[in-house]
Structure 1
Amino acid sequence: MIREAESKDCLIIENLYRILAPHSKNIKVLPERIEQIRNDSNNYLFVYEDEGIVKGSIFMTFCLDPAYQFRPYTVVEYVIVGEEFRGNGIGKKLLEQVEQQSITNGSTRIILLSSASRTEAHNFFTRNGYNGTISKGFKKYIPITEPNQ
């Protein structure tokens, strides 16, 4: 079953994110942030749960788009299924959830970001209708510092 993440899911989601970014020392999923996402109609953090076990997660956000009247576009990040649960259609179902939510909200497109080294994931995304040759994504990381108090 796919559902919106709850604050109680923060540790399992954090562990899934560590699979995505094993060298990052800054990953910290806070229950308060999950609740903030739940209360924001433009952001969704979904988990796939089966028999009480969270097996995968996906995050999507609707972005305001100045080019297409009042229609947003969707950005997807943090697509992850636990390594032991892959190959069972969980990732496909998570992507379908995002697509359905995007259609419902009138999105003009879905932009999906993936680390350049995750070639197996790229093949999975291609099999699910995403084209990795249309655009080239760029990221610039900003160092995480403590906020001024």
Structure 2
Amino acid sequence: MIREAEVSDAAAIEGLYRELLPNRTDTVVLAERIEEMMQGKGYGTELMEHLEHVCVQMNALKMLLASGATRYAAHQFYKKLGYDG
């Protein structure tokens, strides 16, 4: 069975990621979602800026964003912030 990852999967995904790539200095953002009625008010941008700051403090070289393939609005949001992929 294939399904989109959920927030409750975060610990398992992080464990697998660390096992497969133990020497990576990346940070993975698995779940970042702002409720639709709160979108467009800057909360998502503020949250991403905070996450970027945390990554710098952790000496991460990269920040990887995991997002479902059908989350087109999220992909556009990340691109607006300068992320690619």
TM-score by length of 2: 0.72
Tell me if structure 2 keeps the 8 A contact 1:65–1:73.
Answer: no
Aligned to 2:50: 97
- Residue 42 of structure 2 corresponds to residue 85 of structure 1: no
Tell me if structure 1 keeps the 8 A contact 2:7–2:30.
Answer: no
Inter-partner Cα distance in structure 1 for 2:84 and 2:7: 31
Identity of aligned residues (%): 29
Quote the offset at 1:65 in angstroms. Answer: 4.8
Inter-partner Cα distance in structure 2 for 1:108 and 1:124: 21
- Cα root mean square deviation, aligned: 2.7
Deviations 1:97-116 (A, max 9, x none): 11000011110100001111
Instruction: Structure 2 unaligned segments of length 5 or more: list them.
Output: none
Inter-partner Cα distance in structure 2 for 1:75 and 1:83: 23
Aligned to 1:119: 72
Aligned to 1:146: none
Higher percent of residues as strand: 1
Aligned to 2:23: 66
The structure whose RCO (Cα within 8 Å, separation 6+) is larger is 2
Quote the offset at 1:74 in angstroms. Answer: 0.3
Deviations 1:39-74 (A, max 9, x none): xxxx9xxxxxxxxxxxxxxxxxxx57526xxxx210
Quote the offset at 1:88 in angstroms. Answer: 0.4
TM-score by length of 1: 0.43
Secondary structure of the equivalent of 1:100?
helix
Tell me which structure has the larger Cα radius of gyration. 1
Go from structure 1 to structure 2 and tell me whether the alpha carbon gap of 1:110 and 1:90 turns closer, same or farther (over 3 Å shift): same
Tell me if structure 2 keeps the 8 A contact 1:73–1:109.
Answer: yes
